[in-house]
Amino acid sequence: MLVMGFMSGTSLDGVDVAVVETDGERIEGFGPSAMIAFSAAERAALEKATRDALLWDGFGEQPLSFGLAGEVIEAAHLRAGHHVIERLGRLPDLVGFHGQTLLHRPERKLSVQIGDPQVIADGLGVSVVAQMRQDDLLAGGQGAPLVPAYHFALAKKIGLPRPLAFLNIGGIANLTWIGADGSLLACDTGPGNGLIDQVVQAHGAGRYDDGGRIAAAGTVDEAAVAALLSHPHFHGEGPKSLDRYDFPLEWADACSLEDAAATLTAFTAEAVAVTARILPQVPEIWVVCGGGSHNPTLMAALSARLGDCRTADEVGLRSDFVEAEAMAFLAARSLRGMPLTFPGTTGVSQPLTGGTIWRPESTFAEVV
């Protein structure tokens, strides 16, 4: 099938969309991809909903801002979808829709993604698979990371030596370890770009540390890194996941922007290194994808701690679209009833499928 996948991350930059030719087991090819940026007004609505979600924390009625933010997500995804469909020259056979995460509380079996899959299905005229985290959460898993099954398929396609690790650096960073025997382990390692973005934005210096130049001009506060690493997430083994707002930033008020960015960049890299110590074998290669792969200062910090780190682009993949591709791949697996999550990736007790399918109600287009 030609499957289109969407991802809208916690960086709130916009919507990533990518097409993959797959049966949910193999990757036969890659179709067009695009990133459609949010407007300033759209981003403001999403930021308000995110702030409201942290205050709400899953208790009581959902804030009214969730509804408006959901409409923003739907409109942006439809823009992105139609753009890629025009380039593809036909409708995809299926769509994988993640939605926008506002809150992730796996210990309470709660993960909130906004955006109505039915609106996406009707607007594109294609069946949509969504809510791929929820079955895992209800079964006692972390509901994240979702992408390891796709990382495994990518590893088979590109033929890199194992053990191998994929490291995705978005708002939160997560890794997938693939053993020589095909075994999988995965977890969130800690912050990715999210905390760096927050301090850059708080100083009015843009939306992110472009090229890692701000961090490169600063000095790392090693005591602050050590304090951040005392977070309970870094103690104990097994699958685990995070929300990007789980770490305090008050200490950064006493720092210059450059020193805060340098410290948080070091924290992101050190958090990966701490997590890597629990892996059964040292990866021969780390394949880094997501926005963090474009930050030379962060890549240098990772290489100093981990060894051979290569961007996904350097091994022939699309660094910016791996997660959107993963949503397409997982949608195909869901349609076939294949497992999306595994004991070693989310802590669920057995391999588990997931996701629900929404079919178009207001179109005569041919659908799955």
Radius of gyration for the chain, computed over Cα atoms and rounded to the nearest angstrom:
19
Identify the pLDDT of residue 242.
Answer: 61
Say how far apart CA 220 and CA 315 lie, in whole Å. 31
Q: Is the peptide bond before 163 cis (omega within 30 degrees of 0)?
A: yes
Q: List beta partners, residue 130.
A: 356
Report helix, strand or coil for 26: coil
Where are the domains positioned within the chain? 2-143+321-358, 148-320
Partnered with residue 166 across adjacent β-strands are 176, 287
C-alpha of 113 from chain center: 13
Instruction: Give the torsion sign (CA, 252, 302, 47, 234).
Output: negative
pLDDT on residue 367: 39
Q: Which pLDDT belongs to residue 188? A: 86
pLDDT, block means (10 residues), the chain with 368 residues: 94 94 97 97 96 95 97 98 98 97 91 96 98 93 92 94 95 93 91 93 94 97 93 69 72 94 97 93 96 96 97 96 97 97 93 96 50
Same fold, 2-143+321-358 and 148-320: yes
Q: Give the span between the Cα atoms of 99 and 19, in whole angstroms.
A: 17
Per CATH, the number for 2-143+321-358 is 3.30.420.40
Least Cα distance to 200 among 210, 190, 209, 213 occurs for 209
Collect all residues with Cβ–Cβ distance below 8 Å to 123 and sequence separation of at least 6: 74, 78, 81
CATH class of 148-320: alpha beta
